């Protein structure tokens, strides 16, 4: 990492003390750190501590004659390989999302031509506020990368997402971005749906299907291995969540859709789940008794289509990938599905081949508007790795 250089913007929040530890870790890793300390940040850590650990001067003023003479703020904003904002407060995110430039930190963020990584830290309600969600979406769309926030107890006494990611995790995200290529999806968020859904007929009976979740879990793991921050929304399976993946357990299609919407914004969505197309119209709270005669029928109503909903969402991920399980006319059916659901790619697999559902191998074709790309029969793990790499190439 020698000669790599970051511009570290330290915003104002209790978590600013962790920026000191981050600086120490970065220096230990051989990365040069040039700090900008905001006025609010200086309420929490001193310029002297930051400067001592960074072994560099701390910049704070936009209109400092001496600083401007040595290094103008535009030059400062471009003097590093990467700009890191830690902690990124709600205020700094709002400024950057809207292009405000009324202090040195926001000016540097607007003027830089380098990649930006933000590590947000704020109260849970501030993080969940509609305005912050909007700003987060806008920043992601602008290509800003994110690490964290973590969930946990906060200095303000509340609990939830909003804690600054731990310095080693921020360091890892920084090193991945500086290394480039090795973790090309670092800072990107992905939603993966996997497994079957379960639709209740009554409190003890259900409609479900044979999906094992293997392909979806493998894709979630492969995206995480390339650095993506993955939320795996999973129906009931016998599988453990892959390392570094956040799993959300759901049962019904409606729960799965709600969990996916709650995980937005994200830049990538891969819908692998075998979602039940229909659910019983009435799933009463009482068990249906056997009685003298079998029920004539179970009335069904249509479930929401999650792939369709994500593709047409106001907060649509940049890349939406669906799967198509087909037994016949694979290409034609997949192309029709692509158009109907409005997604970007369909990974079509032929489930008429024995052993695909629940098995360890998969023969797929990637269907895009540009055409059909057929892959040989591969283990599901390899299909996942190739697909994750193809997704990373899309963002390169």
Instruction: Give the other-Cβ count within 10 Å of 173's Cβ.
Output: 25
CB-nearer residue toward ligand CTP: 149 or 322: 322
Residue from 67, 249, 277, 344 touching ligand CTP (CB under 6 A): that is 277
Kindly state the smallest distance separating residue 324's Cβ from ligand CTP, in Å.
Answer: 4
Kindly state the smallest distance separating residue 354's Cβ from ligand CTP, in Å.
Answer: 18
The piece of 34-42, 125-133, 225-233, 271-279 that touches ligand CTP (CB under 6 A) is: 271-279
Nearest Cα to 121, choosing from 86, 156, 157, 172? Answer: 86
Task: Quote the strand ranges of 185-267, DSSP E.
Answer: 189-194, 199-200, 206-207, 229-234, 245-249
Structure tokens at 195: 């497994």
Between CA 142 and CA 116 the distance in angstroms is: 10
Q: What are phi and psi of 276, to 5 degrees?
A: -65, 130
Of 156, 260, 271, 343, which residue is the catalytic one? 156
CB-nearer residue toward ligand CTP: 31 or 307: 307
Between CA 314 and CA 306 the distance in angstroms is: 14
CB-nearer residue toward ligand CTP: 217 or 323: 323
CB-nearer residue toward ligand CTP: 38 or 303: 303
Interface residues for ligand CTP in 231-260 (CB under 6 A)? 253
Q: Is the peptide bond before 265 cis (omega within 30 degrees of 0)?
A: yes
- Draw the binding track, 184-223, toward ligand CTP (x: CB under 6 A; -: no contact): ---------x------------------------------
CB-nearer residue toward ligand CTP: 33 or 253: 253
Cβ atoms of 303 and 199 within 8 Å: the answer is yes
CB-nearer residue toward ligand CTP: 273 or 387: 273
Residue from 271, 364, 366, 392 touching ligand CTP (CB under 6 A): that is 271
Structure tokens at 349: 């697999």
Kindly state the smallest distance separating residue 204's Cβ from ligand CTP, in Å.
Answer: 24
- Draw the binding track, 315-354, toward ligand CTP (x: CB under 6 A; -: no contact): -------xxxx-----------x-----------------
Q: Does 306 contact ligand CTP by CB under 6 A? A: yes
- For the question of residue 343 being annotated catalytic, the response is no
Cβ atoms of 170 and 147 within 8 Å: the answer is yes
Q: What sign does the CA torsion over 125, 128, 133, 139 have?
A: positive
Q: Does 59 contact ligand CTP by CB under 6 A? A: no
Q: How many residues line the site for ligand CTP (CB under 6 A)?
A: 16
Instruction: Give the other-Cβ count within 10 Å of 279's Cβ.
Output: 23
Kindly state the smallest distance separating residue 300's Cβ from ligand CTP, in Å.
Answer: 13
Nearest Cα to 193, choosing from 134, 280, 146, 262? Answer: 262
Cβ atoms of 29 and 1 within 8 Å: the answer is yes
Kindly state the smallest distance separating residue 264's Cβ from ligand CTP, in Å.
Answer: 15
CB-nearer residue toward ligand CTP: 140 or 324: 324
Q: Does 303 contact ligand CTP by CB under 6 A? A: yes
Structure tokens at 64: 């400092």
Between CA 197 and CA 280 the distance in angstroms is: 13
Kindly state the smallest distance separating residue 8's Cβ from ligand CTP, in Å.
Answer: 41
Nearest Cα to 280, choosing from 198, 209, 196? Answer: 198
Between CA 20 and CA 38 the distance in angstroms is: 14
Interface residues for ligand CTP in 63-82 (CB under 6 A)? none
Give DSSP secondary structure letters for 322-356: EEEEESS-HHHHHHHHHHHHT-SEEEEEETTSTT-
Kindly state the smallest distance separating residue 247's Cβ from ligand CTP, in Å.
Answer: 17
Task: Please give the residue ranges that form the binding site for ligand CTP (CB under 6 A).
Answer: 193, 253, 271-273, 275, 277, 303, 305-307, 322-325, 337
- Catalytic residue IDs: 156
């Amino acid at each position: 990492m020698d000669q790599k250089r970051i511009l570290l913007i330290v915003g104002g929040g209790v978590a600013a003390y962790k920026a000191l530890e981050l600086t120490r870790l970065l220096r230990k890793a051989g990365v040069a750190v040039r700090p900008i300390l905001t006025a609010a940040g200086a309420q929490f850590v001193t310029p002297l501590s930051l400067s001592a650990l960074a072994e560099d001067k701390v910049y704070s003023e936009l209109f400092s004659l001496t600083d401007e003479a040595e290094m103008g703020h535009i030059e400062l904003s471009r003097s590093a390989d990467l700009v890191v904002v830690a902690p990124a407060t709600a205020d700094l995110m709002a400024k950057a999302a809207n292009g405000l430039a009324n202090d040195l930190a926001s000016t540097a963020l607007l003027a830089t031509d380098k990649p930006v990584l933000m590590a947000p830290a704020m109260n849970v309600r501030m993080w969940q506020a509609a305005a912050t969600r909007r700003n987060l979406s806008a920043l992601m769309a602008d290509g800003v990368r994110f690490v964290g926030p973590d969930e946990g107890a906060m200095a303000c006494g509340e609990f939830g997402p909003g804690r600054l990611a731990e310095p080693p995790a921020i360091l890892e995200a920084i090193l991945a971005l500086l290394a480039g290529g090795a973790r090309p999806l670092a800072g990107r968020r992905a939603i993966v749906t996997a497994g079957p859904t379960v639709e209740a007929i009554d409190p003890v009976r259900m409609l479900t299907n044979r999906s094992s979740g293997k392909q979806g879990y493998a894709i979630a793991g492969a995206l995480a291995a390339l650095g993506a921050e993955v939320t795996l929304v999973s129906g009931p399976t016998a599988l453990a969540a892959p390392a570094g993946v956040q799993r959300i357990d759901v049962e019904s299609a409606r729960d799965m859709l709600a969990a996916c919407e709650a995980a937005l914004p994200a830049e990538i969505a891969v819908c692998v789940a075998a979602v039940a197309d229909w659910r019983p119209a009435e799933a009463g709270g009482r068990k249906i008794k056997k009685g003298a005669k079998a029920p004539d029928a179970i009335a069904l109503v249509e479930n929401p289509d999650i792939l369709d909903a994500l593709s047409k969402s106001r907060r649509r991920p940049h890349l939406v990938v669906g799967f198509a399980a087909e037994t016949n006319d694979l290409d034609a059916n997949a192309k029709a599905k692509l158009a109907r659901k409005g997604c970007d790619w369909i990974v079509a697999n032929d489930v008429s081949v024995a052993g695909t559902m629940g098995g360890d191998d998969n023969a797929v074709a990637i269907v895009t508007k540009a055409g059909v790309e057929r892959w040989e029969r591969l283990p599901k793990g390899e299909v996942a790795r190739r697909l994750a790499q193809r997704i990373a190439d899309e963002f390169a």
